[in-house]
Chain A
């Protein structure tokens, strides 16, 4: 089903469940899926979510470059300078491979 011209990630995910990762803080003027509050934050991979079209290209109607997607768990007390809730509270967010680095 996937056209042969499609660029795909390698067979082995770069990260595994439990790995600590840092979300890139690089700025990008066009469409992407990393909100400011998550940029530069460190979290843990909680799920590997398969391959999806790269949103930065998809926003312009361009396909055929698949990127691996992960769910990353961030601790709320890491995200905000003051946080009202429990220290165990979390924020889970999907981040694409090309926005992640090992931490």
Chain B
């Protein structure tokens, strides 16, 4: 197709490598961030300030390692949440079991 880049034989470097792909019009609707999104945003900033992640590259690695189908379905801060959890587990701060249990009680408990 005519939208191809000039260099043949180069693979996308991951689900996040979007430059040059065809796409529809840009949706310019302004969205106010939801409360949970602001929380995740601040949580990631704090994880960095506290040395859990020393650099945004660690957050990016977690996002980029998502399965392409998952990457495409998730919203921006959902990807951040997924990657932050991955980094927290790697650092031994939380376990997957703790996260699963907490999600279960949040889903079923009174809010």
Question: A interface vs B, CB < 8 Å?
Answer: 25, 27-28, 30-32, 34-41, 53, 55, 58-61, 63, 78-82
Contact = CB atoms under 8 A, between A and B. Distances in A.
Interface string B54-97: 11011011001000000000000000000000000000000000
Interface of B: 2-7, 9-13, 17, 19-20, 53-55, 57-58, 60-61, 64
A80 B58 contact: no
24 contacts: A25-B9, A27-B13, A30-B61, A31-B57, A31-B64, A32-B13, A36-B7, A36-B20, A37-B7, A37-B19, A37-B20, A38-B19, A40-B7, A55-B57, A58-B55, A58-B57, A59-B60, A61-B55, A79-B5, A79-B6, A80-B6, A80-B20, A81-B2, A81-B5
Nearest to A56: B57
B61 A60 contact: yes
Contacts of B54: 58, 61, 63
Nearest to A55: B57
Contact of B12 (A31, A36, A53, A79): A36
Nearest to A83: B6
B56 to A, nearest CB: 9
B6 A34 contact: no
A80 B6 CA distance: 5
